[in-house]
Amino acid sequence: MMADYQPADSGFALDRDCKTLTRHVLEQLHSFGPEAQDLSALMNRIALAGKLIARHLSRAGLMESALGFTGETNVQGEAVKKMDIYANDVFISVFKQSGLVCRLASEEMDKPYYIPENCPIGRYTLLYDPIDGSSNVDINLNVGSIFSIRRQQGDDLDHTGADLLQDGHQQLAAGYILYGPSTVLVYSIGRGVHAFVLDPSLGEFILATEDIRVPSHGPTYSVNEGNFWQWEDAIRDFTRYVHRHDGYSARYTGALVADFHRILTQGGVFLYPGTTKKPEGKLRLLYETAPLAFLIEQAGGRASTGHEDIMGVMPGEIHQRTPFIVGSTDDVALVESFIQDHSRRQSTLLST
Ligand code: P6P
C-alpha cells in the first residue's frame, strides 16, 4: 500500500501561489453560498480592472494620448486626466456584463451609471474613485483606485441613488489598488484586512499579507502643509506640536492611496482637514474616506472627521466631502485632542 502522497518541499510556495483573491474571499466567508460567491466574483472583477489599469499605466508613457488632460472638468470642478476617464470606463466595462451590479457611482460621474436594460442586472453597487491622485500620473508616481461595495436597498426606480446615502456601516466590502513598483490590492469584507500583490507572470493577485494590523502609534504624519494658513487653529497647533517633538516624520505623496497604505502598514496619521476654501474638506465620503475608514477600523485603527467617526457619517449627497483624520488610534486621538481643546476654549470664551 503506497503511503499517502506528500507534496515536495515546494508545497508552501505552490500553495501560496494558489492563494488567489477569489479563493481567499471564499475561505474568509467559510461559505460557498450565493452571497459568498457574489463577493468572490465582485472581487475578481475588481482585480481584473486593476490589472487592466496597471497595464495601461505601465505603458502610458509610450502611448499617444494616454497622458495629459482631456480639457474637461468633472463634477468636482477638477481638470480631468485622460487616465481618469480610461480607468473610469475600465470599471464600467468590467462590470457591465457581470450580472453583479445594478449601478456604478464614481468621482468622475455626476450621477451613477445604471447598467443598461439589455445587460444582466445585479443587486450590488460599486462606488469607486477610478484613479486617485491623478496629479501623479504624468510624472510616473504612485496612484491608486479606491472601491466600496454596497447592496442595493429598495428599487431606486427614479435613478436618484437615494438609497446610497447611508453610513459606512452599510459597506459589504472595501479596498484599494495601489499602482507602484508593484501593484498591490488591499481589501476587507469585514474579516480583517488583506494585501495581494499582482504577479504579472501569472496575471494573478497572490496573497502577500493576511490580517494587517495598524500599530497603535507611528512616526509618520501625512498632511499637505501648504494649506497651513487655511486650517483651523487646532490643526495648526497639532502641526506645531509634531514639529517640536522628536519622533515624527512628514511624508506626503499627493495620492491618498499611497499615503494611506504607508499609514496602514507602518502607523501614524494622515490628515486632510477642512480649509477656509473647503471647510468640509476635499476628500469624498462614499468612495474615498468611508472605504478607507472601513479598512482602518478592520485593521485596529481609527478614522474621524475630527468630531465624529467617518463610519457614522450620513451623506447628504453622493459626492459629499468630509474632513479626514485616519490612522493609528493614539495618533488620531492626539489630533482630536487639539480640536477638543480648541472647542472647549471657544465655548469658555463665548460663555464669559
Ligand atoms: P492636495 C488627489 O487629487 C486627492 O484627491 C488625494 O488623492 C490626495 O490625498 C489629495 O487629493 C491631495 O490634495 O490639495 O494636497 O493636492
Closest by CA position to 73, among listed 113, 110, 127:
110
The CA distance from 132 to 15, in Å, is 33
In order, the DSSP letters of 291-333 are HHHHHHHHTT-EEE-SSSBGGGPPPSSTT-B--EEEE-HHHHH
The CA distance from 190 to 70, in Å, is 38
DSSP assigned state of 172: E
Which residue minimizes the CA distance to atom 13 of ligand 1? 254
Q: What is the pTM of this model?
A: 0.94
Which residue minimizes the CA distance to atom 9 of ligand 1? 256
pLDDT per residue as tens digits for the range 156-212: 888 888 999 999 999 999 999 999 999 999 999 999 999 999 999 999 999 999 999
Closest by CA position to 109, among listed 133, 134, 92:
92
pLDDT of residue 17: 66
pLDDT of residue 61: 83
The CA distance from 350 to 344, in Å, is 10
Q: How far is the CA of 4 from the centre of ligand 1 (A)?
A: 57
Residue range 54-65: average pLDDT? 89
Residue range 83-107: average pLDDT? 96
285, 286, 291, 294 alpha-carbon torsion, rounded to 10°: 80
pLDDT per residue as tens digits for the range 1-40: 788 887 776 666 777 667 889 889 888 888 778 888 999 9
The CA distance from 145 to 163, in Å, is 23
Q: How far apart are the first and last CA of the chain?
A: 92
Residue range 117-134: average pLDDT? 95
Q: How far is the CA of 146 from the centre of ligand 1 (A)?
A: 13
Instruction: Give yes or no for residue 82 CB within 6 A of ligand 1.
Output: no
> Is 304 buried (19+), middle (13-18) or exposed (0-12) by CB count in 10 A?
buried
Instruction: Give yes or no for residue 133 CB within 6 A of ligand 1.
Output: yes
- The confidence band for 107, taking pLDDT boundaries of 50, 70 and 90, is very high
Instruction: Give yes or no for residue 192 CB within 6 A of ligand 1.
Output: no
The CA distance from 190 to 175, in Å, is 11
Mutate which of 73, 139, 221, 224 for ligand 1 pocket (most atoms within 8 A of beta carbon): 224
Q: How far is CA 174 from CA 245, 303, 326, in A?
A: 35, 14, 16
Instruction: Give yes or no for residue 141 CB within 6 A of ligand 1.
Output: no
pLDDT beyond 90 at 69: no
> Is 330 buried (19+), middle (13-18) or exposed (0-12) by CB count in 10 A?
middle
Residue range 217-227: average pLDDT? 97
